[in-house]
């Protein structure tokens, strides 16, 4: 079997060996329940609190402000639904059309509950117009939710102004920081966000564990009940191995972020340069916009993305979010940026990570160029 070249790190990352090493004992010899009152339960609780401290250190908050969840989707649901439920006198919710489906689906649910939902458009660069945001923000706004970095295009949201204006209305601000944490300098105190969601498997930690940052004093109601775990906000037996892994991954992010960013940016540039040398008609989406260093979304003009992936079976890339890839529709993010359905169908997202090599990038360039030329030739026959 030919070697597989994985270029889809925004979808998920491998568990780092150091993370796995920390986790393993908590599956077997140290299998204890952190809620148990005996001394072995205390050891499990201590491990959980160490993980909490490590996550808090990464994003610049107090450990008591971290709630563990099963991942970003649950964190987003708890943040938005919990804040909306607690804000009885305000009904407004503002977000953008380019958010992850986890946010957009919750927004649709809020609308069904009678809340006033505003979906802000983005421009061709994937950015939100500040003046349009201000015209929709009001004293009736309960919560604003804007992602820190887009999972499909890598576009980084300049959150500071949006947060500052939201605070003037005494409204809450949530950010889906899933792709930003570990890749960008991300400090919740510096930013002033009230709520932030993150997930373990995006930062070389395990799947099935994540966290929600809740600023001290932020009103929020629980979405599940049954034991009062996590300050009563998220009941259920704690995933001790997962939390240990999330904490270890968070610590590694602090240590390795700059090194990782330098490497991935060089490889992204190598990929784009190599493709442009061979193909006259490719388009880098949001090319002039600040983006994640590891992410690039490329339109191969005249070559359908599904046909392209079918003709490059050893290269693992994405034509959209992994969470919606089973839905046969073009990317809502790319459509929101003004691409037609046909144009969006010609786009592939490349996201690079720890294990990507220059040789793999060069092989991917060769295979992609060959496939694009073959598809265009067949299409034009």
CA separation (Å) from 377 to 317, 368, 371, 380?
A: 22, 14, 10, 5
Residue whose pair of structure tokens reads 């996590």 in the numeric block: 230
Residue from 310, 314, 312, 276 nearest 296 by CA: 276
* Residue 374 CB partners (closer than 8 Å, separation 6+): 311
CA dihedral 332, 337, 343, 348 (to 10 degrees): -70
Q: 361 by DSSP, 3-state: which?
A: helix
Q: What does the alpha-carbon distance between residue 198 and residue 75 come to, in Å, rounded to a whole number?
A: 7
Q: Which residues pair with 149 in a beta bridge?
A: 156
Is 323 an annotated catalytic residue?
yes
* Residue 315 CB partners (closer than 8 Å, separation 6+): 4, 5, 7, 309, 364, 367, 368
Burial class (CB in 10 A: 0-12, 13-18, 19+), 2: exposed
Q: What does the alpha-carbon distance between residue 212 and residue 214 come to, in Å, rounded to a whole number?
A: 6
Q: 353 by DSSP, 3-state: which?
A: coil
Q: What does the alpha-carbon distance between residue 84 and residue 95 come to, in Å, rounded to a whole number?
A: 13
Where in the sequence numbering do the catalytic residues fall? 323
């Amino acid at each position: 079997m030919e070697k597989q070249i994985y270029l889809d790190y925004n979808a998920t990352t491998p568990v780092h060996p150091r993370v796995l090493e920390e986790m393993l004992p908590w599956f077997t010899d140290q299998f204890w329940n952190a809620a148990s009152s005996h001394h072995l339960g205390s050891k499990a609780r201590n491990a959980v609190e160490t993980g909490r401290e490590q996550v808090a250190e990464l994003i610049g908050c107090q450990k008591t402000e971290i709630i563990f969840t099963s991942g970003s989707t649950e964190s987003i649901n708890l943040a938005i639904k919990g804040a909306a439920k607690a804000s009885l006198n305000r009904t407004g919710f503002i977000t953008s059309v380019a958010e992850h489906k986890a946010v957009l689906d919750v927004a649709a649910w809020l609308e069904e509950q009678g809340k006033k939902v505003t979906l802000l458009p983005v421009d061709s660069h994937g950015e939100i117009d500040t003046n349009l945001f201000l015209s929709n923000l009001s004293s009736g706004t309960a919560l604003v939710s804007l992602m820190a970095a887009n999972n499909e295009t890598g576009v980084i949201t300049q959150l500071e102004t949006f947060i500052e204006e939201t605070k003037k209305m005494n409204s809450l601000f949530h950010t889906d920081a899933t792709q930003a944490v570990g890749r960008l300098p991300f400090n919740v105190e510096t930013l002033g966000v009230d709520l932030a969601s993150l997930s373990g498997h995006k930062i070389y930690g395990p799947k099935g564990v994540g966290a929600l940052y809740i600023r001290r004093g932020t009103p929020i109601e629980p979405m599940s009940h049954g034991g009062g775990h996590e300050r009563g906000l998220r009941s259920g037996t704690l995933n001790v191995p997962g939390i240990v892994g999330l904490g270890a991954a968070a610590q590694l992010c602090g240590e390795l972020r700059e090194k990782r960013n330098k490497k991935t940016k060089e490889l992204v540039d190598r990929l784009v340069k190599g493709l442009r040398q061979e193909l006259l008609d490719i388009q880098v989406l949001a090319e002039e916009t600040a983006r994640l260093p590891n992410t690039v979304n490329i339109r191969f003009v005249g070559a359908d993305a599904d046909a392209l992936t079918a003709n490059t079976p050893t290269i693992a890339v994405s034509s959209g979010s992994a969470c919606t890839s089973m839905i046969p529709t073009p990317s809502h993010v790319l459509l929101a940026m003004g691409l037609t359905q046909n144009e969006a169908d010609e786009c592939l997202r490349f996201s690079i990570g720890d294990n990507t090599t220059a040789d793999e990038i060069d092989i991917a360039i060769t295979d992609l160029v060959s496939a694009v030329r073959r598809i265009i030739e067949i299409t034009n026959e």
